[in-house]
Structures are given as structure tokens and as C-alpha cells.
Amino acid sequence: MELLLATQNEHKKDEILSMLPDLKLKTFKDFNFSGEIEETGSTFEENALIKAEFGYNLSQITCFSDDSGLVIDSLDGAPGIYSARYSGTGSFADNIAKVLKNMAGQPHRKACFICVICLFDGKEPRFFEGKIHGTIAEEIKGSHGFGYDPIFIPNGYDQSFAQLPAEEKNRISHRSIALQKFFEFLQK
């Protein structure tokens, strides 16, 4: 089966192919698209669908995309769908700083990472969700990973995602959970 992954990130393609090596996977690069897709949805599902529909219309092959982010209870779900652009600068260091500032003195630190994958074949979208619960650290912990990894401590662990070995983080992450559900569907 040939699929389009709605991304320009070749590392994401490599990560997925390492899990499903028999997949024939294309990206936007294969269709000479290098622009931005405006994510105007109000949910992870809507934004994933926008990207998957765009990819399908561009390529006319079944497309999948993901949208993910950090949801913090005491910040009313922020940064949520705005996780990548929470600070307004596009810098994850700035995004983390804004979260820590907004969480200063907050005793309730529950959060979760959510990833939603949308598969679109031109007819009916299908969604696969992965979620991992945890807490927000009071300071940056660790230097591995990316995004909010240095301040997210998954339930059952004493270390942040940025302190865990990559293999362990990838095994339990929200993206891994969503991809597993997606892969199980593809193998049916």
C-alpha cells in the first residue's frame, strides 16, 4: 500500500518506516510542495483532517497526518492545539518558558500529551488517538527529546521525557500509542 504522510519532515518519515518497513511512504517533498498548511481547526482532529485532506487533494493517494500537543488542566487545556506556537515566537524554549511562568506557584500540575492521526482516502476520514498522562515539572529537566519533553513527567516515572532514553520515551509516547492503533488498522 502506498501512502502519503502529510509532512515535510523526513525524520518523521524515517521514524514511521522503522516501525513499518514494508510501507511505501511518500511525503510532500515527493510532490514538490514546500508551503505551509494553515491549521484553522479548533481541535487536534480538525487540524489532522485539514492536513490529510490537503495531502489527498495534492496527490490523489491515501494520506495520513497527525496533530499533537500538550494539554494542561490548570491552564484550561492550553497550550493545546497551539502547542507549537504558544509563545508566538516559534521557539520551544520560549514555549516552555511561557508554560513555566503561567504555572508558577500552581499546585495542580496534571497534563497530558495527545496525538491524533487522521487517515483520509478521499471518502471517509479515520482517526487514531494516543494519549499519555503526566505532570508538569517546576523546572527544565533533561536535554534529550524536543518540544515540551524537558517539563513533562509521565505518570509512573520520576524523570521527564527529556531524561528518558529515546527508546523508552518512544515506547510510551502519545505518538507511539496513536501510531500503534494506526498500524493495527492498516494490517487488517
Q: What is the DSSP string of 17-28?
A: HHH-TT-EEEEG
Q: 104, exposed or middle or buried, with CB in 10 Å at 0-12, 13-18, 19+?
A: exposed
The yes-or-no verdict on residue 18 having pLDDT over 80 is: no
Report, at the CATH architecture level, how domain 2-186 is classified.
Alpha-Beta Complex (3.90)
User: Which carries the bigger pLDDT value, residue 77 or residue 143?
Assistant: 77
Q: Residue 25: its pLDDT value, please?
A: 92
pTM of the model: 0.92
Tell me the C-alpha to C-alpha distance, in Å, between residue 94 and each of 81, 170, 175, 188. 16, 24, 23, 43
Q: Where are the domains of the chain?
A: 2-186
The yes-or-no verdict on residue 9 having pLDDT over 80 is: no
Residues in the chain, how many?
Answer: 188
158's CB contacts (< 8 A; 6+ apart) are none
Average of per-residue pLDDT across 122-137: 97
Share the mean pLDDT of the chain.
93
End-to-end CA distance of the chain: 12
User: Which carries the bigger pLDDT value, residue 17 or residue 43?
Assistant: 43
List residues with catalytic annotation.
Answer: 67
Q: Residue 20: its pLDDT value, please?
A: 73
Average of per-residue pLDDT across 120-129: 97
**Rounded to 5°, angle at Cα 120 from 30 and 127:** 125
